[in-house]
Structure 1
Amino acid sequence: MRTSNFEFDYPLDLLAKYPTKERDESRLMIIHRHNNKIEHKYFKDLHFYFEEGDTLILNNTKVFPARLFGNKEKTEAKIEVFLLRELDSSDRIWDVLVDPARKVRVGNKLNFGSGLTGEVIDNTTSRGRILQIHFNGTHEKLIKKIKELGKTPLPKYIKRLPEKIDEIRYQTIYAKIEGSVAAPTAGLHFSKHLLKKLEIKGINLVEITLHLGLSSFFPVEVEDISKHKMDSEKCFIKKDVCSIINNTIQQKKRICAVGTSSMRAIESSVSSNKNLNPFSGWTNKFIFPPYNFSIANTMITNFHMPKSTLLMMIAAFSGYDLIMKAYKIAIEEKYRFHSYGDSMLIL
């Protein structure tokens, strides 16, 4: 299997720039792996496909307002800084992306306003820099100030500035633990009403945490998939969650990974007897065909970009031929793609 196998064309007007009016009114494609049948529903119909004792695994990470806009000292050139992760809290060192990268060099100083400044102290990738942030206050006050000035980190392909609606809708309703610079988009479709329907039906809703970076959203640039390297992302799975999931396995009920991040998290901590272990650490798990999944037997996911690691994972889960057929149908039926787009349930 090569990266070029995951290339496809789609009309750019199918790229969703805004969410649907209501979260659960997005469309939902149902893919039945046992007979290759495909249905067209709405996300609010999800509860019809699960029964008492089934388990849904939700990623409760919360998106950090990671996009800052500043000006270069002296030239006043406008620079966008995307905060990826804090490397050293005492010295306030951050791993960042900058745009336009050609204008930002080591030694450049940036002013973000309200007493927040930064100095570029090293290069990483073509757009990557190491930034030391300067602010007169405690670390807690610094983070508060970044949140005040920062904007919702919408993916670049949406090609618009963040708006007020994004502060709410580019976040799941069960987001709790801050640390992501990208939303776990499969979870964006859940409404409070739908979650309540699932609970009333006796379906387990358990939460894990995987803080998303940007590597999952970058296209794979090597033709040999096995040579692609994922960035590490922080992951937490609690003991009580493992107990519920492992009991569901024993009962031979449905276990649904809500999103590729949930799937990557649980597949990063599998025991020798195919049960889930508690986990606290980093994972750079890259799942691509062929792959034998150990925990989840169903999956919810959005429609992803060509040549992405996300598409490769769901091809491993559903089967390459079936998923490419589903994408062809999705384009014909005008499903909306990517973060604010529609979704599929793979059974």
Structure 2
Amino acid sequence: MKLSDFHYQLPTELIAQQPLAERDASRLLCLDGASGALRHRLFSDLASCLHDDDLLVFNNTRVIPARLWGQKETGGRVEILIERLTGSGQALAHVRSSKSPRPGSWLLLSAREGGEPGPWRLQVTGREGALFVLRAPEAVALADILAAIGHMPLPPYIQREDEALDQTRYQTVFARREGAVAAPTAGLHFTQAMLAQLDERGIQRAEVTLHVGAGTFTPVRVDEIEQHRMHSEYLEVDDALCAAVAATRERGGRVVAVGTTAVRSLESAACGAGLVSPQRGDTSIFIYPGYRFRVVDAMVTNFHLPESTLLMLVSAFAGREAIMQAYREAIVERYRFFSYGDAMFITPEPSALEGR
């Protein structure tokens, strides 16, 4: 398939720059992949889309304040985006500067962009591909530096500086495993009250961990999408999740992934018959039309960027034409797009499921 097959025109004013006052006040566009039928709801109505035997699978990753500002020892300004913590004092990071910092040099950090350097610093010890290896001084935890002066890593299409509000709103209410540098945004719509209501109804919940990397925003740069190579992200699927999926299959329920990161986690761990096996390590699974889903039966997701791998994923699930038509209707109806935007509930076109 061609990259242009996943292009659409989005008015810039539909890109949500701020979260709504209430998480569950977002709109919910429901797409039936079997028929292409669309329904307009509110996210607070999500329970009406679910069956009593369903299992909701959430990504419990927690976003770290991964953006740092500072300067090189020579005075040149730098912007740092931590990609992955690799130890208590070490990380892989993107470093933006006029000239790449040399191995052995120190980056002097500030509390804000353009600010005077404070007592915090990181040393450049090498590179791994496009990423720099950064190390904190001995006996200093990198997490402590991030807690002191790190900024929430808002996506590039949010055209403002991060604010105090983002520390809670660019974070799901169930986030508990620190390590992501981008939020699993479909989960941002859930409130504690919604989760309690789902529990009261008896709808089961389970969790995976996939630490979302900055590569999620990397554009596809090839015309034939099959040639694209995905970035890797750290994944954990534990025994409890595997047991929950197996129990759901036994009672005839659906596995409903909350977000594309939960989809990628479940499909990475698939082991046949709609089941999953424990996993720990990196995944670089790339899901695009033609893929047959082995575990996921329905999904909650936000609206995705044109020509993005996430748009390709949802197109594989519900059909490209159905997805593109849904996006066209969402634009006409003035839905809010991307991380702080509205959501969709999607069921698959039958041919997207493998042997189920």
Partner of 1:145: helix, strand, or coil?
helix
The 5 Å alignment of 1:110-259 reads 110-112=107-109, 113-122=117-126, 128-139=130-141, 142-259=142-259
Structure 1 residue 3: Cα displacement:
1.2
Give the Cα separation in 2 of the matches to 1:201 and 1:166: 31
CA contact (8 A) 1:64 1:180 kept: yes
Amino acid of the residue matched to residue 135 of structure 2?
Answer: I
Aligned counterparts of 1:122 and 1:137: Cα–Cα separation in 2: 20
Residue deviations 1:178-214, cap 9 Å, x none?
0101000000000111111111111001111111112
**Could you report, residue by residue, the CA deviation over 1:53-87 in whole angstroms, capped at 9, with x for unpaired residues?**
21110000000110011122232x43211011134
Q: Which amino acid aligns with 2:224?
A: D
- Offset of 1:299 from its aligned partner? 0.5
Deviations 1:290-321 (A, max 9, x none): 11111111101100101111000000001011
CA deviation string 1:11-39 (max 9, x = no partner): 00101111111000011001112221101
Say yes or no: does 1:96 pair with 2:93.
Answer: yes
Counterpart Cα distance in 2 of 1:111 and 1:296 = 46
SS of 1:156's partner is coil
- Cross-structure match for 1:80: 79
Kindly tell me: are residues 133 and 56 of structure 1, through their superposed partners in 2, closer, same or farther at Cα, counting changes over 3 Å?
Answer: same
1:216-275 deviations in whole A, cap 9, x for unaligned?
222211112111111211111121221121221232222210000000000011113331
Percent identity over the alignment?
38
- The residue that corresponds to 2:114 in the other structure is none
1:300 aligns with 2:300: yes
Q: CA deviation at 1:93?
A: 4.2
> Which residue number in structure 1 is paired with residue 10 of structure 2?
10
Q: 1:23-42 alignment to 2 at 5 Å? A: 23-42=23-42
Q: Return the alpha-carbon distance in structure 1 between the equivalents of residues 87 and 256 of structure 2.
A: 36
The separation in 2 between residues aligned to 1:134 and 1:296, in whole angstroms, is 41
2:188, 2:18 → 1: CA distance? 12
TM-score by length of 2: 0.90
TM-score (structure 1 length as normaliser): 0.93
Matched AA of 1:260: T
Q: Which moved more, 1:282-291 or 1:101-110?
A: 101-110
1:286 matched residue in structure 2: 286
CA distances 1:108-149 after superposition (whole Å, capped 9, x unpaired): 532114432234344566xx441433435343xx42122211
Q: Distance in 2 between matches of 1:149 and 1:305?
A: 30
Alignment of 1:266-285 (within 5 A): 266-285=266-285
Cα separation, partners in 2 of 1:277 and 1:124, compared to 1, 3 Å: closer
Distance 1:242 1:124 in 2: 33
- Which whole-Å CA distance do the structure 2 matches of 1:313 and 1:87 have between them? 29
Q: Which moved more, 1:115-124 or 1:229-238?
A: 115-124
Contact 1:68–1:80 (Cα < 8 Å) also in 2? yes
CA offsets, 1:126-179, max 9 Å, x none? xx441433435343xx42122211011111111211100000000000001001
SS of 1:158's equivalent?
Answer: coil
**Where do 5+ consecutive residues of structure 1 fail to align?**
none
Match of 1:263 in 2: 263
Aligned counterparts of 1:146 and 1:136: Cα–Cα separation in 2 = 16
- Contact 1:84–1:213 (8 Å) recurs in 2: yes
Q: Over aligned residues, Cα RMSD in angstroms?
A: 1.7
Paired with 2:336 and 2:20, the residues of 1 have a C-alpha distance of: 10
Shift in CA distance, 72/155, structure 1 to aligned 2, threshold 3 Å: same
